[in-house]
Structures are given as structure tokens and as C-alpha cells.
Amino acid sequence: MKFKTIAIGIGGILVFGTLFAKNKASQISAIIQNLKFKVSRINSFKLKSDHILIDLDLLLQNPTPEEFSLNTGTAIQLHKIEVFTAKGIKVADAYKQVNNIVINAFGEMLLSNIQVIVPTENLGSTLYSFVSQGTNTTLITKAHVTILGKNYII
């Protein structure tokens, strides 16, 4: 009888954890889609044979009326952000282990020393895309997060 109670308790915790993770992922996804990214400062710029390595500070802006909080210890972690043009051309990968982000409604937060890798194989088509779109350049981002040990792409 005691084993059955423990098994039911563990099963309940696993179901609750999965539902919590999925709910949190959808909440985060809705706000992340509205976040604005602005380069605050470029700390270093290195040209390699197959990519450009940039170390920069990034300003995250939350234009929504809701607070964005990723302050969950290690339960939720942001690992990587992929950046694409509207045509699906990969522009860059940004790497930074972050698990403590709090941006008030209509607020901003500075993330320092983010490593950005820009592959040079598509550099020509990427630059052409930016020039042809002018100020209407649309970039699509995909955030790689881990929520309670499961990986999600938002």
C-alpha cells in the first residue's frame, strides 16, 4: 500500500512537471516573440576563415505590458539564439548561458559579453538581403531554452 501511494505521488509530480514546463514554454514563447534586441556595444571583432566572431553587449527590450522573467535558477536556461533573414538564410548564432533574466513591462536589460558567430558562407546573400530590404529588414530569432531538463526551440 505504501509503495502504491509513493508511485502515485511520483506519477503526479511527473505529470505536473510536464504540464508546468509546457505552460511555461508557451508563456515564454509569447513574450520572446515580442522582445526587441539591440546591439549596445561591440567589444571585439575577429575575422576567421569560415566565420566572423563578435563579442558584444546586447540590450533586451520588452515592449509588452507584461513582465518577462526567466529567474528560475537552473529550471529554465537560455543557451543559444539563432538569427535568420525573412527568407530563411541563417545570419548568426549567439551563445550565452543565461538563467536570470527579469525585464519589467516596457523595460530593458543589458546582457554583456555575448559571443556571436556569423558564418561567412552566406555572407553575400545575407548582405544583399539587408541592402534590398533597406530599413524594413526582418530578422527571425529562435531561442534554444532548457525547461526542467527538456530542450525547447521557441
> How many Å apart are CA 154 and CA 141, to the nearest integer?
8
Kindly report, residue by residue over 42-81, the tens digit of the pLDDT: 899 899 889 999 898 888 888 888 887 766 666 677 788 8
More confident residue, 19 or 35: 35
Domain of residue 44 covers 2-153
Question: Residue 43: what pLDDT?
Answer: 92
Cell of 134: 533597406
> How many Å apart are CA 17 and CA 94, to the nearest integer?
29
Half-sphere exposure of 14 (CA within 13 A, CB side): 6
In the chain, the number of structural domains is 1
Cell of 58: 546586447
Rounded to two decimals, the pTM is 0.63
